[in-house]
């Protein structure tokens, strides 16, 4: 065991605090990573506050992790000491079910092992990336291309893959019209990736405040949905809608924007059930879908794609003592577009 510095939530209602946690010994197939940066995802906040169910405390969150390999187990073949690597939302899966065997461990039928707040194979609760080190099975460690700076690479491990996977699966590309609903951490990556794939991208945001950013990220246009006539004017327009909003929204109004055989994919995760009229789906043979992160193979493909197309998240690097303040700013959508923690600041001075 190794004691490492971390920032943890002591309970659902208290601020996160500096602490230490134990990491397991490096097993045969494990990789010990010195974490350089960890992104702050909205899911981190939902998890520590118990919004998605009760969890055990203290809990360290963070599933947008990048750093370098410090040590590898004797049977490790995929990674070497000194490699630039990343870890995303999962650290293991059953490896035996139909979906795992098909290479889609993100859809493991027994549930993939989350990077934090999940029961690990040794029975302990997984602890995430707001820490200086992590030990992960080599199969769940990604290679981070040299051309992507460490701090900007971090959000690719959740926000990047969560938007890349549905864009690739539903074939966003030349000749396709894609709408991105919401311009936050996920939304801004959806815009950059969809544009790089060659699709014509429209951002649907509540206001015009982020219009200049949308256009700079590759969108053809940015429309403010506060005015209800905007959505009415866009009916039957899009092949694909990526909804990144995790608050309830009028599904019928957005589904009507799909043209023949169009699909609306939810990657935002509102906790409540949302009403929907089946008649809206009849028109244009529309599909309403969901998508959950991406497989390890697809995550590597996304990292290589981002390097090849020179795209990276827009980040604001913060020190660990600003994590609680950052949470409040994420909740009020006051971030452009992802906070990333410099994990060197987790080590107490002196």
Length of the chain: 350
> Cβ of residue 128: shortest distance to Zn ion, in angstroms?
10
Size of the site for Zn ion (CB under 5 A): 8
- Options 33, 69, 100, 335; binder of Zn ion; rule CB under 5 A: 100
> Cβ of residue 108: shortest distance to Zn ion, in angstroms?
3
> Cβ of residue 68: shortest distance to Zn ion, in angstroms?
22
Asked if residue 307 binds Zn ion (CB under 5 A), the reply is: no
CA 72/CA 69 separation, integer angstroms: 7
Would you give the binding string for Zn ion spanning residues 4-43, x where CB under 5 A is met? -------------------------------------x-x
Pick 262 or 313: Cβ nearer Zn ion: 313
Alpha-carbon 249 to chain mean position: 21
- H helical segments located in the chain: 42-48, 98-101, 150-153, 159-169, 185-196, 211-216, 228-232, 251-255, 278-282, 296-308, 323-331
- Options 91, 153, 158, 240; binder of Zn ion; rule CB under 5 A: 158
> Cβ of residue 102: shortest distance to Zn ion, in angstroms?
10
CA 115/CA 76 separation, integer angstroms: 20
Asked if residue 94 binds Zn ion (CB under 5 A), the reply is: yes
Please state, as a whole number, how many other Cβ atoms lie within 10 Å of the Cβ of residue 198.
12
The answer to whether the peptide bond before residue 58 is cis (omega within 30 degrees of 0) is: yes
- Options 47, 59, 93, 106; binder of Zn ion; rule CB under 5 A: 93
Whether 288 and 258 have beta carbons less than 8 Å apart is answered as no
Asked if residue 108 binds Zn ion (CB under 5 A), the reply is: yes
**Residue numbers at the binding site for Zn ion (CB under 5 A):** 41, 43, 93-94, 97, 100, 108, 158
């Amino acid at each position: 065991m190794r004691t490492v510095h971390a920032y943890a939530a002591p309970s659902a209602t208290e601020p996160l605090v500096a602490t230490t946690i134990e990491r397991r010994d490096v097993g045969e197939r494990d990789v010990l990573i010195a974490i350089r940066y960890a992104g702050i995802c909205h899911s981190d906040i939902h998890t520590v506050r118990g919004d998605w169910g009760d969890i055990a405390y203290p809990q360290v969150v963070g599933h947008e992790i990048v750093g370098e390999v410090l040590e590898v187990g004797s049977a490790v073949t995929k990674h070497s000491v000194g490699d630039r690597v990343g870890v995303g939302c999962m650290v293991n899966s059953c490896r035996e079910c139909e979906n795992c065997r098909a290479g889609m461990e993100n859809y493991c039928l027994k549930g993939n092992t989350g990077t934090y707040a999940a029961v690990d194979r040794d029975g302990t609760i997984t602890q995430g990336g707001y820490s200086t080190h992590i030990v992960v099975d080599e199969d769940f460690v990604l290679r981070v291309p040299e051309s992507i700076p460490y701090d900007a690479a971090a959000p690719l491990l959740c926000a990047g893959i969560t938007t890349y996977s549905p864009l690739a699966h539903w074939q966003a590309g030349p000749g396709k019209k894609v709408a991105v609903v919401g311009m936050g951490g996920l939304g801004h990556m959806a815009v950059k990736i969809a544009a790089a794939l060659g699709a014509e991208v429209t951002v649907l945001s509540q206001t015009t405040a982020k219009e200049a950013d949308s256009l700079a990220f590759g969108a053809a246009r940015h429309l403010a949905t506060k005015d209800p006539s905007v959505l009415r004017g866009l009916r039957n327009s899009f092949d694909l809608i990526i909804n990144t909003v995790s608050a309830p929204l009028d599904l019928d109004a957005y589904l009507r924007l799909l043209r023949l055989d169009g699909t609306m994919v939810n990657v935002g995760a509102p906790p409540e059930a949302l009403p929907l009229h089946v008649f809206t789906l009849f028109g244009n043979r529309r599909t309403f879908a969901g998508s959950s992160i991406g497989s390890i193979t697809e995550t590597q493909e996304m990292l290589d794609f981002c390097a090849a197309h020179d795209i990276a998240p827009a980040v604001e690097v913060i020190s660990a003592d600003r994590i609680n303040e950052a949470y409040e700013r994420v909740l009020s959508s006051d971030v452009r577009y992802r906070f990333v923690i410099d994990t060197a600041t987790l080590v107490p001075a002196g």
